[in-house]
Structure 1
């Protein structure tokens, strides 16, 4: 995070006022400014003239602002700012709850479902969220529904009744009242204002297609991020086409396809959905996969304290950790990729997809399947897997654990518990467990001291190259060792480090 911000920064009025007056976009998402005289709330980088200090108060979330009776600024659109990096850097109950709420769990399963996933009572979760975020799970989900409604109203030609139910509202009246309360505009006015910004250009005609911009904190280096995703893409499930990374998505209400294009100030996102109710989940998946809510300044400042890493950071700052659209899928792919080349891992995964994946239609490209779900993989005859016996045992045990819920991987996972469960499976050594923690669970401090690429890069830089000595040296990089791995990998001449052409 910026050097003068911390998770409870909204309680330090003096620092918040300085941040607002500096209009520094790095603070967007860390806190929100509510203006007492106008009853609006803004992001810290709002281009409007800053109000007088005595007229400002500060909140930790947009939901808290809305709950206090403030509406979103029409100029800086604070509801579209990147999410707080805090929720992706922590593994406690509040952070896990925020990740699940971002995935739409409250809308699908209610507060009781959220609490059950976390292993807490609803009262405990509500109390912890109120204390830290300033709003309970229902208020946070309501703010997210309002933002989803705004996206659908502005980027699709859906009838407003369809927008309301796709965004998760239970009635048209609640939809209209919430949108007016949050944005001080009727849903139809949101759509008309968006059309004016587009210069009257028509909305895309393809049914189910939504085009939007995914914001991020600068800097962002797309080379290793998209290079890694493209170089390891599973044929039929992923592809690089016309400057975009495309892949199929398994969503709660049906399959989807996403196309993600790196731009200087945002990621272009084109979603083709079977059901618009999946929009919130799909956006959350894409942001997590591209690590867009990271705070690159905080990461890079910490890694620069090591004089041997500093030149790598200065040369290409803003590297992100390429993550995954589905944690269970990545766990399977990690086992398939053990001790083989990238090309061989892709071939093994493609065979599994062709044999057991669900077919999809892709009129715009070459995607053909969803990655097989754990239930389908658990039914596979082990003898039909063309691997050595030890690898077959590792895969079939993993398939079964994922299918029966013994092993739960996802945004709500407890990182330490997931590591322990993975380590109990046959064929899961430290490298496999840590690469899953890094790319599937999203732990920013996951580390791979036994990885050959990491050890080779470390030796070339003059860092210790034995796992024990490198782990000791890397203690100074915490809690961002997963990002240090990206900088070390980037020293090699491999397609994962280059933006595809």
Structure 2
């Protein structure tokens, strides 16, 4: 059960809540990933908290999520309180708060290569998303580029086509554009390689017209097959979307460079096929194994950012 930290404030639509979770929870890669990949204008790390805009049924919202001892501090600003339950559900989904870390870690530590990683930082969660379509777009933008470049591409898209909002407590400026708004774009106007432009327009068109459903409760395998059939979306993109947008706990990005680098360092098979065969022992929690593998690298996604405003 969620426990309200006091009553709603005097300003209508502003609430402070505690989001509980099953311990343990390692916040480093969870909040580190969200902060390091945050889209300017839509997301920010400010004073020790992750903040972002939310597109909701009755309006928009702004959420501030802060890792605290025993719970996640959650502050919501909503234009319509009828969206409260939906906003809380999205935040829980984003932070993977309904995971069972004991079951996950008990299985993964059976592999001698993973056991020290689990023992060092138990309770790693999969950083997910508040909007599956948004994440799918961002995954395509992030194909074969650095984290910084992906943020830049997404930030340009938001500034040009996102819906402006006002953030009284920080630097958030926009809602991420919906697929329908992006489907009508002229691909030639996108500052991307032509293949990625085409893939992006193909994806948002399929999302806008309902041919692909990535929402909660959607058929994961069907969505995977539909994404795979789109030209320009390879295995890395499809599995990344499955992991973070579809919420598949068993998605596995065998071709990911960070995963392969970690496998090499741990004396695990390195080729995608051999690594996938080895990873069969990690099922049905391969998405969590990926988090432990990624955490072996020296990258901003693996650590909490400084508490100063960014």
Fold shared by both chains (TM-score > 0.5) = yes
Q: Separation in 1 of the partners of 2:39 and 2:191?
A: 18
Given the alignment of the two structures, is residue 424 of structure 1 paired with residue 229 of structure 2, yes or no?
A: yes
Query: Which structure has the highest helix share of the two?
Result: 1
1:15-30 matched pairs, under 5 angstroms: none
Name the structure 2 match of 1:293: 98
Given the alignment of the two structures, is residue 403 of structure 1 paired with residue 218 of structure 2, yes or no?
A: no
Name the structure 2 match of 1:194: none
1:243 to 48, 70, 73: 48
Q: Following TM superposition, by how much is the alpha carbon of 1:389 offset from its aligned partner in structure 2, in angstroms?
A: 1.5
Name the structure 1 match of 2:190: 385
Q: Separation in 2 of the partners of 1:249 and 1:411?
A: 16
Name the structure 2 match of 1:155: 7
Structure 1, unmatched stretches of 5+, are 1-78, 81-149, 157-203
Name the structure 2 match of 1:304: 109
Q: Following TM superposition, by how much is the alpha carbon of 1:151 offset from its aligned partner in structure 2, in angstroms?
A: 5.2
* Bigger Cα Rg: 1
Contact 2:158–2:174 (CA under 8 A) maintained in structure 1: yes
Structure 2, unmatched stretches of 5+, are none
Higher relative contact order (CA 8 A, sep 6+): 2
SS at match of 2:224: helix
Q: Deviations over 1:258-305 (max 9, x none)?
A: 000001100000000000000000000000000000000000000001
2:181 to 369, 376, 386: 376
Name the structure 1 match of 2:10: 205
Q: Separation in 1 of the partners of 2:151 and 2:113?
A: 34
Q: Following TM superposition, by how much is the alpha carbon of 1:397 offset from its aligned partner in structure 2, in angstroms?
A: 0.5
The aligned length equals: 306
Q: Deviations over 1:309-368 (max 9, x none)?
A: 100000110000000110000000000000000000000000000010000000100000
Q: Separation in 1 of the partners of 2:243 and 2:185?
A: 28
Q: Separation in 1 of the partners of 2:135 and 2:12?
A: 30
SS at match of 1:271: strand
Q: Separation in 1 of the partners of 2:122 and 2:100?
A: 12
SS at match of 1:250: strand
Q: Separation in 2 of the partners of 1:287 and 1:405?
A: 25
Q: Separation in 1 of the partners of 2:283 and 2:165?
A: 42
Given the alignment of the two structures, is residue 230 of structure 1 paired with residue 31 of structure 2, yes or no?
A: no
1:415 to 220, 228, 236: 220
Contact 2:4–2:16 (CA under 8 A) maintained in structure 1: no
Q: Separation in 2 of the partners of 1:312 and 1:298?
A: 16
SS at match of 1:441: coil
Task: State the Cα RMSD in Å.
Answer: 1.1
Name the structure 2 match of 1:214: 19
Q: Following TM superposition, by how much is the alpha carbon of 1:218 offset from its aligned partner in structure 2, in angstroms?
A: 0.4
SS at match of 2:164: coil
Q: Separation in 2 of the partners of 1:308 and 1:423?
A: 31
Contact 1:155–1:212 (CA under 8 A) maintained in structure 2: no
Contact 2:23–2:101 (CA under 8 A) maintained in structure 1: yes
1:19-98 matched pairs, under 5 angstroms: 79-80=1-2
Provide TM-score, normalisation by structure 1.
0.60
Given the alignment of the two structures, is residue 273 of structure 1 paired with residue 125 of structure 2, yes or no?
A: no
Given the alignment of the two structures, is residue 261 of structure 1 paired with residue 113 of structure 2, yes or no?
A: no
1:400-479 matched pairs, under 5 angstroms: 400-479=205-284
Name the structure 2 match of 1:361: 166
Q: Separation in 2 of the partners of 1:352 and 1:255?
A: 19
Name the structure 1 match of 2:296: 491
Q: Following TM superposition, by how much is the alpha carbon of 1:447 offset from its aligned partner in structure 2, in angstroms?
A: 0.2
Q: Deviations over 1:134-189 (max 9, x none)?
A: xxxxxxxxxxxxxxxx959x622xxxxxxxxxxxxxxxxxxxxxxxxxxxxxxxxx
Q: Following TM superposition, by how much is the alpha carbon of 1:205 offset from its aligned partner in structure 2, in angstroms?
A: 2.7
SS at match of 2:270: coil
Q: Separation in 2 of the partners of 1:231 and 1:151?
A: 29
Q: Separation in 2 of the partners of 1:387 and 1:267?
A: 37
